[in-house]
Structure 1
Amino acid sequence: MSEEFAAAGAGITGSGPLKGVTVLDITRVVAGPFCSMLLADLGATVIKVEHPDDPDYARTFPPFVSGDDEEFSAFFTQFNRNKLGITLDMKSAEGKTLLRKLVRRADVLVENFRPGTMDRLGLGYEVLKKENPRLIYTAISGFGRTGPNASRPSYDNTGQAAGGLWSMNGYADRPPVRVGTIIGDLAASLYAAIGTLAALREAERGGEGQVVDISQQDSVLTLTENAVVRYTTQGDVASPLGNDHPFVRPYGQFPCKDGYVFFGGYTDKFWKITCELFGEPEVANDPEIDTMEKRFDRDVAERRVKPILERWFSKYTKVELEELAGDRVPLSAIKTIAEVVEDPHIAARDMIVKVPVAGKLVRMFGLPIKLSGTPGNACAKAPNPGEHNTFVYSRLVGLTPEEVRKLSDEGVI
């Protein structure tokens, strides 16, 4: 049924490895919309469901693009491109009925309400799976569907704080600093996409759907690298290190002529090559810093290694250092977003794509998942609220255009 629906929407729905998979997206902001956007970019038919009087408030987030007749959020578009848009009041009796009918024709439902919200609406998993036993019910929340904190409200910063990442970020002599992006929302969405695909595979094999339960706190916790095992094996509590690494040196930020670079040549092999590149091969044989273990020592790294690297790097610009290092040692310019967007390698990877926003083409990040046989597509616009009501409700539910108009007039959709 999903493939039939996708075929009927040729030119509206996508193509790619997930073509034929239908996703109901009842999420808001980023933790959820990013998950379903990835599925949409990979070819799934994603239907964004919004309340007719209270649409996703990410539509109000800057930056905005103005066209002849509209102003539209580029932020919203970036996380909701390639989707169909319908409206639905799930609190109304008619709305509940419509959602159950939509679920019968869907493969996946993604929601990011607090646990218990959908149950209170009479639309929880136990109800919806009676409509469609194969349904994958992906739920993203701050603390997951189980445990003593399950009902607590959460934002991205909640995940960063509760998952331990915030306490590790920043500089040793200052208070902790949040990671400079919404990593709690983004990580949860990534794990939700992975979990959804795994559950889809199981449903294809066994015919049964299931709940994919994703917690922001859980997701952030897995991003703390070695902090957990350092604590459980040594009692060492991770704290802010700035640009240092807990045990690998040199491995961090170093100044150069016009900014900063990352240099990670800590192995004996890379250290020797680096000394040769900068015309001082004898440094590799200095008895105080001639082995990786010696360079790992914090005092030695600060007193001997760091000054040598800063002396070398200070003579060159970021571009010159990257050219000098080439593919021989791990050295990368620490780039501004402007430099990344204009990076020829990023362009070669199709990681900046042009997506319609308010009648104009706006550059935004593309799909990082590269498939050789069935590539995805990240170039379709985000929908207006309810833009595809007639198409979706007629194709999936069987409503006539007159019935759609009546439900719209009544505020159900």
Structure 2
Amino acid sequence: MAGDQLTAEPLARPSRGRVALRVLAIYLAARLVTTLFLFVAAELSGFQSRMGADADLGDTVVAWDGAWYWLVAFSGYPNPLPLTDAGQVAENAWAFLPLYPYLSQAVALPFGGQWGTGALIVSLVAGYGASVALYGLLRLRLDQSATLWAVAFFASGPLAALFQVGYAEALNLFWLFCALWCVARRRYGWLYVLIPLMAFTRPGVLAFALFLGLFGVWRWVRRAREPLRAPEVVHIVALGLLSVVAGFAWQLIAGWVTGEPGAYLSTELAWRRNWVAGDPSFAPFEPFLAGISFWFETMWHLPLALGYVLVGAGVLVIGAALAFLPQVRRLGVEIRLWSASYLVYLLLVFFPQSSIFRLLVPLSPLWGAFAVPRSRVWRVGVLVACLIGQWWWIYNMYALGSSSWQVP
């Protein structure tokens, strides 16, 4: 089918320099808007806010997880693990992977070692790199106009503040989009570098392992239309195994350093005690099911069965959209398989709470589906909705940030 084939030779393709400048113009305009939003949020921050009553733009960089990344750069990882008064593993830095905080610290050296300055620079530059990489990925399937609009949605989206705060998402998105482009172009060599970089930037590389497995099956099924040669089979299998090893590497490192084999998992579960009573455990799908129970029964006082029905219906609708919606099919099988793999990963390991908005950012290639319709009214409407969503998120997470659903 035409929608499953790479665009062979797009007509009138602009030079790489011109593309980089166009994306830069979009990105800088979006960053100005986000800066304004963050400035207003800092001004509105009160005594109940996480940032306090005298917050400024600098505080937004190191707020929330930014403080943990700063702690990693400043003092490393704890050994032994800190414990609560009840003897349980407390929240600690092992939940945060090392590449982003240490890279930010290195970048900060010419600026007096101010970690927040380094983190801001890394996030800004990585966000621009991610925008360029997203353009390259989507341009394989979409025309130039739709691709630029998709980049505008991405750069201005509801979670676009992540390009200006001390979070590792922007850097991880850069690696991810480059990796997806490599798979789409069958250029597997760079993945041997990109996969470890992803693994030590943000959790989630196990979703990429699942994606490579599904992609390998798809390539085998389609081998009559696109020849599947032995070197490609070797690459897909080797990279899948590398993704699995890299996905568990940090857990093994945490266990080796602390002498506690379950150090990383115990650290992650420490955060869930903020939401549920008792000593939580982990099994595949258990966190997500526990989250449904928490929100529907405990918080909203609704029947648990209703939660299961609504979530199940949502999964079916999303699955159908990825499989059958023409605008999504237009993006190609690689983006669709990645999106499905990442959503399965979240269902397997994530306890749903307000951070779900941030954790959905790796699905950003799907912005291309919103850009496919050629109606200018539609595209402008989507952009306006992105900006409204961005202000809503910034206002709640930074200006307020004082209740259970206002945690980025």
The normalised TM-score by structure 2 is: 0.23
Larger strand percent = 1
Which of 1 and 2 has greater Rg?
1
Larger helix percent = 2
Q: Which has the higher contact order (CA 8 A, sep 6+)?
A: 2
